[in-house]
Chain A
Amino acid sequence: MNIIVCIKQVPSTSDVKIDEKTGSLIRDGVESKMNPYDLFALETALQMKQQVGANITVLSMGPPQVQDIINEAYLMGDVEGAILSDRCMAGADCLATSFALSQCIQRIGLPDLVICGKQTTDGDTAQVGAEIAEFLHIPHITNVLKIDDIKEKSIIVESDLPDITQTVELQFPALISVEKDIVQPRLPSYKRKRSLPSLHVRSFNRNDLADKDEEKYGLNGSPTRVVRIFPPEKTRKTELVQGNSTELADKFYETLAEWKFV
């Protein structure tokens, strides 16, 4: 079985600051790490490998530094790496990201299963998985809660819908995006660090892809535009009440009465 796991590099903290003058994000000195939701995707793949045997490729699109998270993945288990990096892919929104990733997946070779994380901690849209599946013309299931069975040509999963959970059999090739907590991600093994030089990583750029049209990648290929980013506003007049607990309880009760809750 062949599996591709899509992983994204995100800032280590989502506590980013905004430059009020330019409106751009200040990420100076902010470390990067693997999107935490993608750890669940990777662990899901690693467990499948243990269960039925699989070749796993972790794929990341971004600047050359995404090598770091490919290494991180390797410390968790036996994977190969693929990096898609090209300046023309900078500034991509979900559509351009998914298109580029789907092109790269086809270049690597369409696997039986593509696994994505539920969402990221930066862009935070949870849209990339379904969009990749559309570009690959394969079925997808998002919000996978549990893998019930892995068969020769299909997989049985449970997924979360608004009022029900659905158990479905999905024919390969297919894409799933997994919920956080579907499995418990293992810790990186520092023993594996010694064998890191044997990690096989392939690098791709636009010229390696079937569709080389610069207009379809990065900012040019992105239908959405971030017009402005700004800090969330917190303006509300709070009546701050201090005093001993009896006074506070009295005030609390009076307020609830005034609002007609008691």
Chain B
Amino acid sequence: MEVCLIIMKAKIVIHQQHAQNPQELTELCPFGAIEYMNGQLNINAACKMCKLCVKNGPVGVFELIEKQQVEIDKTQWRGIAVYVENTNGVIHPVTYELIGKAIELSKKIAHPVYAVFIGSQIKEQANELLYWGVDAVYVYDQPEFASFRIEPYAAAFEDFILQASPSTILVGGTTLGRSLAPRVAARFGTGLTADCTHLEMQANTDLDQIRPAFGGNIMAHIRTPNHRPQFATVRYKIFSAPQRRDARSGTLITRELPSEKLVSNIRVLSLKNKPAIVSIEDAQVIVVAGRGVRKKQDMAMLQSLAERLSGQVAATRPLIEAGWVDARCQIGLSGRTVSPQLLIACGVSGSVQFSAGMTGSQHIVAINIDPNAPIFKIAHIGLVGDLYEIIPLLLERMEAGMHSKQTSHLPFPENVVK
């Protein structure tokens, strides 16, 4: 038997007559929500329902009144759905990462996995999705979906939910996903948890979601206990993509929306490609510059290290703000999340805001003069020293290493004369 969580609605009632020192009682609340005015204790809108006043206050003053709420029938909602993020039909890789996660979550509760694909002329790509282990792909392929406009996209998503009644919906935490998911979640009056970094399924189909908040200074464990579907967004590179399968499986379900669902008050005038730089999310090796780098010119040194390793240069926020490095190469909570094979942090202190965007890296090397720098808590190898000395020496060694490798390939090493 599974244990059902009974959802309570709660409120705190103040019994004024029991309050001995009302003024002092205002101190009980860490959020400053208790106020004493005109001889009355009051709780204002700052209350976070932390219940500390009930727990720590004098007996009988603050009373928690709970009301049981009718629990929804969760068996009516089956399936884990993934929104297929795409630009002109080109599927964004976060989609495969989410499909992988959805399959993993579905095993625990034996639910089907769905993909929701909205776009124009996407038949071929929809077929491709059948190689990734989903049970069904819902395809919305109409010319009105050629460019992203919120009303038609939300209408298609709504249609999918009404058709399939999924229990959980995962959406990539891209700019598009973070515009579409809240719109649809609000339409269904349900919960959406942003930027999850960890997801786990409970037997009763509640999704345990963990996400950073307060700029990465705290982690929050969030649940949507009495609403379906439960929505979560996840950024690119948080989970890893599964292997593409050799054989296709699952079915394509093509849906068509009536024209009145496709109207929009948004007219797309033009689209501009962003300058084609390899995004740092895709780089296998990343050299990160932090405040330990003293001047803009010194970026050249890091650039050559990155080039030697066929990688890319990225930076922490202050350097981006100084304009030394392109803003798209900012790593961290307010920048990108990366998980390369190798990340070399040069003169990076390692604030939580930064590390939130890179802890998934396979191998982390940190160079910092300060042995107490927080970056050393996350690095695999921490070099306590001056990057201005270490990197040139390393480059020398790499140069020498290259030569010795090349010479060793020569059948008759002429330079080795005994």
Contacts and interface: CB of A to CB of B under 8 A. Distances in A.
A261 to B, nearest CB: 6
B242 interface: no
Contacts of B201: none
A18 interface: yes
Interface string B197-222: 00000000000100011111111111
Contacts of A122: 213-214
A142 B175 contact: yes
A156 B269 CA distance: 9
Contact of A130 (B183, B208, B363, B382): B183
B58 interface: no
Contacts of A189: none
A64 B32 CA distance: 11
Contact of A85 (B45, B378, B385): B45
Given A14-B215, A98-B186, A87 B43 contact: yes
B219 to A, nearest CB: 5
A24 B342 contact: no
Contacts of B32: 63, 65
A245 B385 contact: yes
A188 interface: no
A241 B266 contact: no
A220 B212 CA distance: 23
Interface stretch (B73-81, B101-109, B143-151, B406-414): B143-151
A161 interface: yes
Contact of B182 (A131, A223, A232): A131
Contacts of A168: 149, 266-269
Given A123-B213, A224-B191, A236-B378, A161 B87 contact: yes
B257 interface: no
A86 B45 contact: yes
Contacts of B42: 87
Given A22-B52, A24-B30, A24-B50, A127 B273 contact: no
Nearest to B9: A220
B95 to A, nearest CB: 11
Contacts, number: 314
Contacts of B324: none
Interface stretch (A49-57, A74-82, A89-97, A191-199): A89-97
Nearest to B177: A162
B185 A133 contact: no
Contact of A166 (B183, B186, B191, B271): B271
A158 to B, nearest CB: 8
Nearest to B321: A181
A255 interface: yes
B24 interface: no
Most buried by B among A143, A224, A239: A224
Contacts of A251: 381, 383
A98 to B, nearest CB: 6
A50 B226 CA distance: 47
A162 B87 contact: yes
Contacts of A236: 377-380
Contact of B224 (A98, A171, A223, A249): A223
B227 A223 contact: yes
Nearest to A123: B213
B176 A139 contact: no
Nearest to A251: B383
Contacts of B389: 245, 249
Contact of B265 (A15, A26, A161, A170): A170
A252 B186 contact: no
Interface stretch (B119-127, B129-137, B247-255, B394-402): B394-402
Interface in A232-262: 232, 234, 236-246, 248-253, 255-257, 259, 261-262
B383 A95 contact: no
Contact of A240 (B87, B219, B384): B384
A-B CB proximity, top 7 nearest: A223-B191, A249-B393, A63-B46, A245-B389, A125-B194, A90-B47, A224-B191
18 contacts: A14-B215, A15-B217, A28-B30, A63-B33, A98-B186, A122-B213, A124-B213, A125-B195, A127-B192, A162-B176, A224-B222, A224-B223, A227-B208, A230-B219, A238-B376, A242-B384, A252-B383, A261-B341
Interface of A: 11, 14-16, 18-19, 22, 24-28, 61-65, 85-91, 93-95, 98-99, 121-131, 133-135, 138-143, 156, 159-171, 174, 215, 218-220, 222-232, 234, 236-246, 248-253, 255-257, 259, 261-262
Given A90-B47, A167-B270, A219-B10, 9 more contacts: A11-B214, A88-B11, A90-B43, A125-B195, A166-B148, A219-B9, A231-B218, A234-B374, A244-B385
